[in-house]
Amino acid sequence: MNRELPHVALSKHPHDRHGAQRQDDSWLEKQWADPSTRVLTVAGTRIRPQDGKLVWTSPEEAIDGLRVLLGERDQTTYFASIIDPSEAPGAREEWLMLRAALGVLDPGQAPMVMHAIGLAEWHWATRFCPRCAGTLASRMAGHVLACEACGKEQYPRTDPAVIMLITDGEPGSREERCLLGRNGAWPEGRYSTLAGFLEPGERLEDAVRREVWEETGVVVGEVGYFDSQPWPLPASLMLGFFGRAIESTINVDGSEIADAIWLTRGQMQDRAASGELVLPGGVSISRSLIEEWYGGELPGAW
């Protein structure tokens, strides 16, 4: 395909994370004192759009909280200030979780927002040392938590998850089909690609096969890598794959997956156009997998 895939928008403009400066206190203070530095306030794990966009303030205007260095882009240094939700100004409903705020993200700043929310989620969830239950202190500009009792250091976690589009039939033919599933909590008509977390000691390709079989009963043979997408909801890296079914009979697990269907390209186009089929939103790697296989853009999204 000769077009940019939808999920790339969230990670197209990576910033220089300045890892070497995270323990340089004089450099950090100098950047914080610079009025051109921009700061995003995160309340717990929520951000606050205003007038349809996120507000980055100067350090002087920022609410005092845990300073987290995000890095530099276009000769501007960026920080996040993580505050307790009780200190957040305005009404609680004005502060949105990242999923609800995706529509207001500036693509140029999206990687920094993902970085900020990912660290905020980690700080929110990591309150005590897992070795001795001691108090944790922030180090390395928010990127390390050190136990003040035993000295054990904790680092931000990223959990690998596989997300896959499974196909059967002659590749590229009118009869070729792809497999979509529907979570039991979703409204009727909403379908997506299958996904699941990697288990200890497991290869990514085997995780694809296991998850598809567990959720739908479909047996997968060949598996090929597609692309990846950071997804700090709360701390995942989505690794996209295509897979080929060698046994296509569907037998859903009935718990996580309530229904699964095979669709040809023609069926997908017709059902999406009519609203009978509602596909994932454009910023998700799931949408990219589907449209890469389909061969173009599709109508509708949730």
- What's the CATH code of the domain at 208? 3.90.79.10
pLDDT at position 2, please?
Answer: 54
| Domain span holding position 138 | 128-157
> Chain-wide mean pLDDT for the chain?
93
Q: Residue 178 above 80 pLDDT? A: yes
The pTM of this model reads: 0.88
Residue 154: pLDDT band with limits 50, 70, 90: very high
User: Residues 144, 114: one domain?
Assistant: no
User: Residues 219, 275: one domain?
Assistant: yes
Mean pLDDT over 285-294 rounds to: 96
Whole-Å CA distances, 85 to 42, 47, 254:
9, 10, 38
Q: Residue 46 above 70 pLDDT? A: yes
User: Residues 167, 186: one domain?
Assistant: yes
Q: How many residues belong to the chain?
A: 302
More confident position, 37 or 110: 37
Flag whether 1 is in a domain: no
User: Residues 116, 140: one domain?
Assistant: no
pLDDT at position 127, please?
Answer: 92
Dist CA 96 CA 129 (whole Å)? 29
The distance of Cα 288 from the centroid of its chain, to the nearest Å, equals: 14
Domain count, the chain: 3
User: Residues 25, 135: one domain?
Assistant: no
Percentage of the chain modeled with pLDDT above 70: 99
pLDDT, one tens digit per residue, over 234-255 is 889 999 999 999 999 999 988 8
Flag whether 300 is in a domain: no
Residue 109: pLDDT band with limits 50, 70, 90: confident
